[in-house]
Amino acid sequence: MSPKSPFASALLLSACTLFSAAAVAAEPRYNQVALRAEVSQDIAHDLMHVTLYSEAQGNDPAALAGQISQTLNAGIAQARKVKGISVTSGNRHSYPIYAEPTAKQKGPQISAWRERAELRLESTDFAALSKLTGELLQSLNMGSMSFSIAPTTRKAQEDALLNDAVTAFKARAELATQALGGSDYKLVRLDLNSGGFNHPAPMRMEAMKGAAMMDAAVTPDIEAGSSQVSINADGVIEVQMP
């Protein structure tokens, strides 16, 4: 019988290796338990969001756009003078307003144009942003005000909870092992995920109606609230029986 070529030997070795790996993979794993542990903490909102807008109506769309831009640019310039406040432009759109149809009209007729543009402000300095908001309400309208957890704060809190989540999972793994009468366990898989939420909270405004909304001296009384940040530890252990 002629000796096997090096290629044939390598092919045979590879086939044996694959067969051994498949056999190990197909080997049944007993006494496996899926566990989950969750740790959470309420974190105070430290980021304030304000949306202001300018809205007007006119017959000339170009003149209307210029008017809106002038009002918005003045607000942006004023906001940029305040340290620690992020300023961005929000949504902007215009649309036609149609007149009531008459018998002489062959189709819908545009009677005017309406345009709205937003200015979005964001800051961790609640006092400064509240004061600026009150000042800008002389020329702009209030769209919304909300609060959330700043990304850097959220990450720091999640990192702090990570160790607690692993500790809580290990405690459950030991409890499950004892309940099954095992002597020890092996960790098969462990997944760590953020399960918290970061929904902005609505602002509570105290008696800001009518002319008071336009008073630059008005500073809203606010309650930022909090959100819950959590870390989930999902994993599988294999209980070792004595």
What is the pLDDT at residue 66? 94
Confidence of residue 142 (pLDDT cuts 50, 70, 90): very high
What is the pLDDT at residue 100? 75
What is the pLDDT at residue 99? 82
List the one residue out of 189, 140, 178 whose CA is nearest residue 35.
189
Structural domains of the chain, with CATH = 31-45+150-207+226-242 (3.30.110.170), 47-148 (3.30.70.2970)
Query: Residues 108-125: pLDDT tens digits?
Result: 788 899 999 999 999 999
Question: CA 160 → CA 150, 153, 176, 191, 230, distances in Å?
Answer: 16, 11, 26, 16, 10
Query: Residues 60-81: pLDDT tens digits?
Result: 999 999 999 999 999 999 999 9
Alpha carbons 145 and 130: distance in angstroms, whole number = 10
What is the pLDDT at residue 224? 81
Q: What is the mean pLDDT of residues 214-240?
A: 78
Phi-psi bin for 106: left (phi > 0), alpha (psi -120 to 50), beta? alpha
Q: What is the mean pLDDT of residues 21-41?
A: 74
What is the pLDDT at residue 4? 52
Res. 205: pLDDT tops 50: no
Res. 203: pLDDT tops 80: no
| Least confident range of 76-80, 125-129, 139-143, 195-199 | 195-199
Res. 21: pLDDT tops 80: no
Res. 208: pLDDT tops 70: no
Report the mean per-residue pLDDT for the chain: 81
